[in-house]
Copies of this chain bind each other. A is one copy, B any other.
Amino acid sequence: MAATESASAGTNDHLITSSDPEHPANHICTLCRSFYNLGWVGGTGGGTSIKRGPHIFIAPSGVQKELMQPHNIFVLEHANRSYLRKPLELKPSACTPLFLAAFDRGAGCCIHTHSQWAVLVTLLVEQEAHAKGEDPMGKCFEIEKIEQIKGIPKGRGKSGMLGFFDKLVVPIIENTAHEEDLTQSLEEAMEKYPDTYAVLVRRHGVYVWGDNVQKAKTQAESMDYLFRLAVEMKRLGLPWVA
């Protein structure tokens, strides 16, 4: 519970110390534990970040998600991207620039998963494009007329959730050798699809965000439900779009 104002490594513990379970440093840990149990962040893949006021809290790279502790958490100043807290023995999350792309656009929480269902839908979209002799680049995951679509909001600046008769469109970007190199195509997808709350990454997973933790988490759940349902539908010869 030391309170220091120094920005050197491992200090500024006050930034991550709280008895409030919804303090970002605590909340990231409970979320990571849930996501691990869902199979989204095994093998240290994936990540979670939360913005509160001027600060962004991010789970580090390489730490077992189900064992995450508040003292593992990195803290950034959003405005100037500088680290206020940087545990020396850990590596910052490679997702950091991607999370920042979401926070720059008003998100309050951003979640990255390696869900197999996300990976599989990107492969199925690619497979279908090839089967039609088309280029998969730029093709989105699309699904309509499933009630769970109503778990996704209409879009930034729009009021309410998608309707049962709306089509959910989630852009897919191609994976790169290094996570940070996804930033440009992630931002382009966010610009091209301004109403989206998620971007799929081919053969990699998905980034999902929301105005706050509760929205990002529930939207991530609805997205993953739809990805899994889409895989089951494909296996049974059921089309995603009529």
Q: Which of A79-129 contact B (CB under 8 A)?
A: 114, 116, 119-120, 123-124, 127
Q: Is A229 within 8 A of B119, CB to CB? A: yes
Q: State which of A51-59, A144-152, A191-199 sits at the interface with chain B.
A: A144-152
Q: Does A163 contact B (CB under 8 A)?
A: yes
Q: Does A3 contact B (CB under 8 A)?
A: no
Which residue in B43, B123, B175, B214 is a CB contact (below 8 Å) of A225?
B43
Q: Is A201 within 8 A of B147, CB to CB? A: yes
In whole angstroms, what is the CA distance A198 to B177 when docked?
23
Q: Which of A171-209 contact B (CB under 8 A)?
A: 175-177, 201, 203-205
Q: Is B64 within 8 A of A116, CB to CB? A: no
Tell me the nearest residue of chain B to A214, going by C-beta: B64
Q: Does A236 contact B (CB under 8 A)?
A: yes
- Chain B residues within 8 Å of A218, by CB: 42-44, 64
How close is A94's CB to chain B, nearest CB, in angstroms?
9
Given contacts A214-B64, A219-B43, A229-B116, contact A164 B145 (CB under 8 A): no
Q: Is B148 within 8 A of A165, CB to CB? A: no
Given contacts A45-B147, A45-B151, contact A236 B236 (CB under 8 A): no
Q: Does A228 contact B (CB under 8 A)?
A: yes
Q: How many residues of A contact B (CB 8 A)?
A: 47
In whole angstroms, what is the CA distance A177 to B144 when docked?
12
Q: Is B164 within 8 A of A146, CB to CB? A: no
Q: Is B228 within 8 A of A116, CB to CB? A: yes
In whole angstroms, what is the CA distance A175 to B114 when docked?
32
- Chain B residues within 8 Å of A177, by CB: 163-165
Which residue in B45, B114, B119, B236 is a CB contact (below 8 Å) of A231?
B236
Which residue in B44, B120, B201, B225 is a CB contact (below 8 Å) of A114?
B225
Q: What are 9 residue pairs bridging A and B, where the CB atoms are less than 8 Å apart in the complex?
A: A43-B221, A44-B218, A45-B222, A64-B214, A114-B225, A116-B225, A123-B233, A146-B203, A164-B175
